[in-house]
């Protein structure tokens, strides 16, 4: 007997969601399912539709078409039930309030929050509770927003470009704090245009472009699916025609004796190089996510 066990519940379900602002189709049909416990990055350039998608997911903006469910409820109901914590881009804070008051307020409005001081500690700003928000640095302000996002002990944390305005050090500390939250099993969705953040911290990357999802998978899937691997080898008197004809090779370039091969199946090409040529000093590397994103964006451009 076989039984299908559904062990993961769906945190977020977007079906055919669109939103237009005047002449601009900000979101042009997004389908997205996020399981409970996933850490998902929405990646894309400015104007890709990331923020609008997130605003619709949070019930701040109504979609023109399509449906949005958060834990099987409308965004409004999910928020009312205290299941969502969110951190939006700049603005939206009463500047003359103290940090402790802001985090305490959000805690007080939710049904099962953690103590405000604990949220401050987790965000790494335990010493800033008595400071007035206006007097903080950009990075400190972002951490206050982060504390406000986690203090409800939400099932889903949504972050829109959380590290904008942070220096390298603060970014690293921020993601460490974030990592502690994901380790607690929370579902996390964050928008970013920093590729390395998506690469390092997300289980899954959703690449958006012109209001559509153009790729969806783990960072390594996206990298591999797009441009495979690059092989670089020193091959004296290489038969370029032969190499280009190999299965899985997309392009061949030479720089003197050095051959650069773009290939979808690098293992097969390697075997050939070792067995049938005098190739030496062989290096194989994956394109980074940036290459993948650029390639995907170009492909999208070509279609459009």
**Contact flag: residue 80 with another protein (CB under 8 A):** yes
Residue number, 50 or 223, with CB nearest to another protein: 50
Pick the piece of the chain touching another protein (CB under 8 A) from 73-81, 195-203, 209-217, 267-275.
73-81
With contacts defined by CB under 8 A, how many residues of the chain interact with another protein? 31
Q: Which of 13, 29, 64, 93 binds another protein (CB under 8 A)?
A: 93
**Contact flag: residue 110 with another protein (CB under 8 A):** yes
Residue 232 CB, nearest approach to another protein (Å): 49
Residue 74 CB, nearest approach to another protein (Å): 13
Q: Which of 92, 185, 241, 256 binds another protein (CB under 8 A)?
A: 92
From 81, 41, 76, select the one nearest 57 (Cα to Cα). Answer: 76
Q: How far apart are CA 215 and CA 205, in angstroms?
A: 8
**Contact flag: residue 62 with another protein (CB under 8 A):** yes
Q: How far apart are CA 246 and CA 244, in angstroms?
A: 6
Q: What is the three-class DSSP state of 138?
A: helix
* Residue 18, C-beta contacts closer than 8 angstroms, at least 6 positions apart: 25, 27, 28, 29, 30, 63, 64, 65, 66, 211
**Contact flag: residue 150 with another protein (CB under 8 A):** no
Q: DSSP labels for 161-229?
A: STTTT--HHHHHHHHHHHHHHHHTT-EEEEEES-HHHHHHH-SEEEEEETTEEEEEE-HHHHHHHHH-E
Residue 152 CB, nearest approach to another protein (Å): 8
Q: Which residues bind another protein (CB under 8 A)?
A: 58-62, 79-82, 84-86, 88, 91-97, 101, 104-111, 148, 152
């Amino acid at each position: 007997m076989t039984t299908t066990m559904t062990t993961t519940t769906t945190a977020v379900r977007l079906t055919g969601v669109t939103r237009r602002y005047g002449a601009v189709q900000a979101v042009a049909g997004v389908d997205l399912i996020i399981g409970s416990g996933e850490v998902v990055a929405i990646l894309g350039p400015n104007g890709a539709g990331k923020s609008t998608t997130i605003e619709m997911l949070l019930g701040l903006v109504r979609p023109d078409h399509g449906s949005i469910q958060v834990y099987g409820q409308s965004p409004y109901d999910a928020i009312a039930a205290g299941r969502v914590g969110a951190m939006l881009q700049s603005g939206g804070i009463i500047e003359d309030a103290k940090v402790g008051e802001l985090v305490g307020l959000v805690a007080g409005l939710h049904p099962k929050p953690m103590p405000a001081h604990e949220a401050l500690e987790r965000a790494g700003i335990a010493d800033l509770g008595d400071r007035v928000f206006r007097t903080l640095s950009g990075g400190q302000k972002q951490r206050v927003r982060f504390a406000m996002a986690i203090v409800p002990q939400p099932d889903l944390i949504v972050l829109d470009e959380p590290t904008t305005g942070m220096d390298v050090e603060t970014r690293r500390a921020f993601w460490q704090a974030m990592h502690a939250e994901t380790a607690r099993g929370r579902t996390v969705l964050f928008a970013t245009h920093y590729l390395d953040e998506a690469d390092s911290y997300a289980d899954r990357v959703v690449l958006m472009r012109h209001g559509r999802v153009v790729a969806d998978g783990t960072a390594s899937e996206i990298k591999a699916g797009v441009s495979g691997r690059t092989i670089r080898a020193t091959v004296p008197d290489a038969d370029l025609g032969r190499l280009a004809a190999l299965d899985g090779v997309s392009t061949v370039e030479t720089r003197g004796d050095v051959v650069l091969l773009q290939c979808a199946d690098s293992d097969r090409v390697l075997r050939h190089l070792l067995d049938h040529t005098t190739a030496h000093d062989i290096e194989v590397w994956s394109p980074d996510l940036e290459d993948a994103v650029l390639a995907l964006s170009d492909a999208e451009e070509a279609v459009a």
